């Protein structure tokens, strides 16, 4: 789930524990363009304090104003309701939606006395422990129940029951526990990935101090096999050591992982592809390798390189095909071509 939505869960549970009522708002349907996807969440405390978002801001303002004017129903009258915004072009403009856009929300009152009935404390505990969970909310009673979920499951709403999926939908395996990996993993966790770092070298793992990361010291090829990578997994090799990176890549390229990439120069990545051919990888499998990894933003420092890499990962996750000019290899080749042309133009015949 989105890290922003995790903050909504944390705040909702904390507010109820502190004796506050709150309104939990979930996007359940969108038509046309919408700033936030189905499943996005917002929580408004009884005094108007807010966390999360369901739109570009105007719908949030309307909900906050409604809470301040009308309050949140007491526990004995607390029932979820579905509301729509942006049905007409005039409303779409008023609430900051693109013209013609419509968004349907489920507004669920929360109260300290019904914390257990909401199942939110148990849900938060499950998500924080890395579990993927389905929450089923009965619209008539306001009671909720938890159950197992698959990464491919999605939100469902039929007017009577709201089913939402919570927890890490995407996994990321990072090979190498160096400085760059620390920056990359911090951002990846914020993007909602469940991150595992693999590095058998003790001199690197002993100083690892990033919370929320699973660290393993097994060999990379064994780690790839044990993780049983699927189409919601990304693998990024960052050690610069062929003995480690190549082991992970040769196994990862045989899996359905949506992204497999490796750090290195264009020359090093070409040499890596030649080495990987010796492991009986097909041309089709080798073509899946992103290398040099990342998009070209002129990055030089570890934080900038981490952003470059994760931008390409997110594009692949969202099924966005990047033109060659945005990728490191294509951008640098274009720069060299342009520099050569300029040099030629400046040379007398």
- On whether both 161 and 184 belong to a single domain, the answer is no
Q: Which of 141, 166, 191 is the last residue of a domain?
A: 166
Q: Three-state DSSP class for 73?
A: coil
Q: Does position 318 have pLDDT exceeding 70, yes or no?
A: yes
- Domain shared by 148 and 181, yes or no: no
pLDDT on residue 185:
95
Q: What is the tens place of the pLDDT at every residue in 153-166?
A: 889 999 999 999 99
pLDDT beyond 90 at 90? no
pLDDT at 129: 81
Domain end residue (candidates: 149, 166, 183): 166
Examine the domain organization and report whether 188 and 226 are in the same domain. yes
pLDDT of residue 75: 60
- What pLDDT score does 212 carry? 79
**The two structure tokens encoding residue 276:** 């990987």
Whether residue 326 is predicted with pLDDT greater than 90 in this model: the reply is no
Residues 312, 316, 319, 325, CA torsion sign: positive
Say if residue 137's pLDDT is above 50.
Answer: yes
Tokens linked to 158: 């039929």
Lowest-pLDDT choice from 181-190, 276-285, 336-345? 336-345
Q: In this predicted structure, what is the pLDDT of residue 349? A: 44
Range of the domain at 310: 170-332
Look at 88 and 65; give whichever has higher pLDDT. Answer: 65
Q: Decide if 220 is inside a domain.
A: yes
pLDDT at 229 over 70: yes
- Supply the CATH number for residue 203's domain: 3.40.50.720
* Of 100, 131, 166, the domain-final residue: 166
Which pLDDT band holds residue 81 (cuts at 50, 70, 90)? very high
For residues 213 and 154, state if they share a domain.
no
- Please compute the mean of the pLDDT values over residues 94-111 and round it to a whole number: 77
In a domain, 339, yes or no: no
Comparing 183-187, 289-293, 341-345, which segment has the lowest mean pLDDT?
A: 341-345
Task: Please give the mean pLDDT across all residues of the chain.
Answer: 87
At residue 5 the predicted structure's pLDDT band, cuts being 50, 70 and 90, is confident
Same domain for 151 and 176?
A: no
Checking if the pLDDT of 31 tops 50, the result is yes
- Judge whether 250 and 286 are in contact, CB under 8 Å: no
Q: Is the pLDDT of residue 335 over 80?
A: no
Whether 159 and 257 share a structural domain: no
- Give the torsion sign (CA, 232, 318, 211, 167): negative
In a domain, 343, yes or no: no
Lowest mean pLDDT among 75-89, 303-317, 330-344: 330-344
Give the integer Cα–Cα distance in Å for 188 and 161: 32
Looking at the structure, do residues 223 and 302 belong to the same domain, yes or no?
A: yes
Distance of CA 10 to the CA centre of its chain: 17
- Which residues, in sequence order, are bridge partners of residue 113? none
347 in a structural domain:
no
Residue that wins the pLDDT comparison between 64 and 334? 64
Per-residue pLDDT averaged across 301-310, rounded? Answer: 95
Q: Given this model, what pLDDT does residue 266 score?
A: 84
Whether 159 and 33 map to the same domain: the answer is: yes
Average pLDDT over residues 109-113: 93
Is residue 344 a part of any domain in this protein? no
Structural domains counted in the chain: 2
Q: In which order are the strands placed within the sheet that holds 214-216? A: 214-216, 193-198, 170-175, 233-237, 259-262, 289-290
For residue 345, being part of any structural domain is answered with: no
d(CA 320, CA 136): 32
Dihedral of CA atoms 345, 347, 348, 349 in degrees, nearest 10, equals -70
Q: Please, which pLDDT band fits residue 334 given cuts at 50, 70 and 90?
A: low
Q: Is residue 29 part of a domain?
A: yes
Considering the domain architecture, whether residues 188 and 122 belong to the same structural domain is answered as no
The whole-model pTM stands at: 0.69
Distant-in-sequence, close-in-space partners of 239: CB < 8 Å, separation ≥ 6: 175, 176, 178, 199, 245
Residues 272 and 185 occupy one common structural domain: yes
Co-location of 157 and 179 in the same domain: no
State the pLDDT at residue 298. 87
Q: Are residues 174 and 311 in the same domain?
A: yes
Mean pLDDT of 185-190: 91
- pLDDT mean over 214-236: 94
Residue 343's pLDDT is what? 56
Query: Does residue 337 lie within any of the structural domains?
Result: no
pLDDT band at residue 342, thresholds of 50, 70 and 90?
low
């Amino acid at each position: 789930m989105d890290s922003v939505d995790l903050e909504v869960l944390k705040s909702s549970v904390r507010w109820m524990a502190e004796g506050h009522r709150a309104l939990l708002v979930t996007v359940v349907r969108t038509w046309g363009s919408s700033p936030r996807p189905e499943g996005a969440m917002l929580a408004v405390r009884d005094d108007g304090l807010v966390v999360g978002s369901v739109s570009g801001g105007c719908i949030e303002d309307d909900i906050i104003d409604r809470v301040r004017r009308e309050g949140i129903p007491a526990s004995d009258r607390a029932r979820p309701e579905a509301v729509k915004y942006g049905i007409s072009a005039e409303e779409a403009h008023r609430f900051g939606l693109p013209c013609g856009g419509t968004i349907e929300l489920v507004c669920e009152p929360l109260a300290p006395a019904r914390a257990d009935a909401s199942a939110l404390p148990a849900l938060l505990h499950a998500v924080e422990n890395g579990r993927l969970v389905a929450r089923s909310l009965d619209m008539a009673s306001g009671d909720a129940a938890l159950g197992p979920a698959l990464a491919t499951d999605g939100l469902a709403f039929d007017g009577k029951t709201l089913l939402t999926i919570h927890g890490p939908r995407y996994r990321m395996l990072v090979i190498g526990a160096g400085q760059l990996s620390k920056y990359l993993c911090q951002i990846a966790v914020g993007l909602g990935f469940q991150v595992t770092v693999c590095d058998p070298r003790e001199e690197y793992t002993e100083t690892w101090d990033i919370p929320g990361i699973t660290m393993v010291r097994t060999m990379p090829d064994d780690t790839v096999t044990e993780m049983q990578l699927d189409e919601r997994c990304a693998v990024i090799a960052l050690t610069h050591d062929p003995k480690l990176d190549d082991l992970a890549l040769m196994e990862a390229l045989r899996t359905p992982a949506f992204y497999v990439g490796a750090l290195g120069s264009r020359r090093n990545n070409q040499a890596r592809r030649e080495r990987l051919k010796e492991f009986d990888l097909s041309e089709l499998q080798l073509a899946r390798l992103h290398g040099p990894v990342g998009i070209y933003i002129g990055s030089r420092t570890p934080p900038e390189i981490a952003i470059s890499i994760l931008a390409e990962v997110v594009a692949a996750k969202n099924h966005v095909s990047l033109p060659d000019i945005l990728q490191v290899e294509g951008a640098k080749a274009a720069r060299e071509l342009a520099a050569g042309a300029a040099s030629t133009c400046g040379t007398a015949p």
